[in-house]
Amino acid sequence: MQPKDHHDWASETYVDEWVKRQQSEDPARAQRFELMCDRFPFPHDAPVRILDLGAGYGPVSAFILDRYPNATCVGQDGSAPMLDRARMLMARFGERFTPIESDLFAKDWLPSRFGSFDAAVSSICLHNLRDFVRIGEIYGEVCRRLKPGGVFLNLDLVNAPDGTGPFPAGLDDHLVALRAAGYHGVSCFWGDARLALLRLRLTVSSSRDDRVERGRRALHRLATRRLFAPCSEVFGEARPRGNSVSNTSSLRRSRR
């Protein structure tokens, strides 16, 4: 797997540091994983098969396997050091977790022996490819491996609505690419626009009242001037077209 950006997923040291940092955020990320599970179109005891693209050390798969006792996950990733950590951290699930090492740029990244899936998930992975054409192709490749009624839930980083940002595309481009890839019911059901970090420096002045007033104004600016940083994190949902199974509860939720 060739590095496409500053991430060096093939490096033991890099992955070790990245995983430690990320694990400290896992309790906060659990809320997002829960939102994702809420969109699954099956009951919690269903014997389902889930594909986790760019599974990394397995935080999403672990969350799913804990919540769905009869589910199994295939955790795909192109990084050997990442999958070593996944094998260790996911050992408690035994055969319910199957790691597979493959590069998403390879045409056969998901060999046919893995069959089809009730759902596919992905968390902050696909933007790493830095290639929107390839991401669109992967959307189609995932779509063709979903069972009828299946769903693809993708949490990823997108550029700001004004088009600025370091990522391959903005939200609207992703929604269009998902439809073109053969999904219907394509929607973004959660988004977190990153706020630009405003540096607050209160000038020390001679008068206390003046300082208080400056502080008050600065806080007001912070509260009202919600600047878009050049990225937002979004969760998208998509179902293969021609799929007659509908999930009314998730439709209801998505109208909120």
Shortest approach of ligand SAM to residue 109 CB, angstroms?
A: 7
**Rounded distance, CA 135 to CA 13, Å?**
27
Site string for ligand SAM, 11-50 (x = CB under 6 A): -----------x----------------------------
33 vs 247, which CB is nearer to ligand SAM? Answer: 33
77 vs 237, which CB is nearer to ligand SAM? Answer: 77
Distances (CA, A) of 84 to 18, 42, 74, 113: 14, 30, 15, 22
104 vs 160, which CB is nearer to ligand SAM? Answer: 104
Residue corresponding to tokens 């970090």: 197
What DSSP letter does each residue of 3-54 carry, written as one string? --SS--TT-HHHHHHHHHHHHTTHHHHHHHHHHHHHT-SS-TT---EEEEET
48 vs 55, which CB is nearer to ligand SAM? Answer: 55
Burial 182-218 (b: 16+ CB within 10 A, else e): bbebbbbbbeebeeeeeeeeeeeeeeeeeeeebeeee
Give the burial class of 2: count Cβ atoms within 10 A of its Cβ; 0-12 exposed, 13-18 middle, 19 or more buried: exposed
Of 36, 48, 51, 60, the one binding ligand SAM (CB under 6 A) is 60
53 vs 181, which CB is nearer to ligand SAM? Answer: 53
Map the footprint of ligand SAM across residues 118-137, applying CB under 6 A: 123-125, 128-129
Total number of residues that touch ligand SAM (CB under 6 A): 20
The reply on whether position 138 binds ligand SAM by CB under 6 A is no
14 vs 42, which CB is nearer to ligand SAM? Answer: 14
Strand partners, 154: 122, 236
Strand partners, 192: 233
**Rounded distance, CA 210 to CA 230, Å?**
34
Of 36, 64, 78, 139, the one binding ligand SAM (CB under 6 A) is 78
The reply on whether position 84 binds ligand SAM by CB under 6 A is no
The reply on whether position 236 binds ligand SAM by CB under 6 A is no
Map the footprint of ligand SAM across residues 86-115, applying CB under 6 A: 103-105
The reply on whether position 59 binds ligand SAM by CB under 6 A is yes
What DSSP letter does each residue of 131-162 carry, written as one string? -HHHHHHHHHHHHTTEEEEEEEEEEEEEB-TT
User: Residues in the site for ligand SAM, rule: CB under 6 A?
Assistant: 1, 9, 22, 54-56, 59-60, 77-79, 82, 103-105, 123-125, 128-129
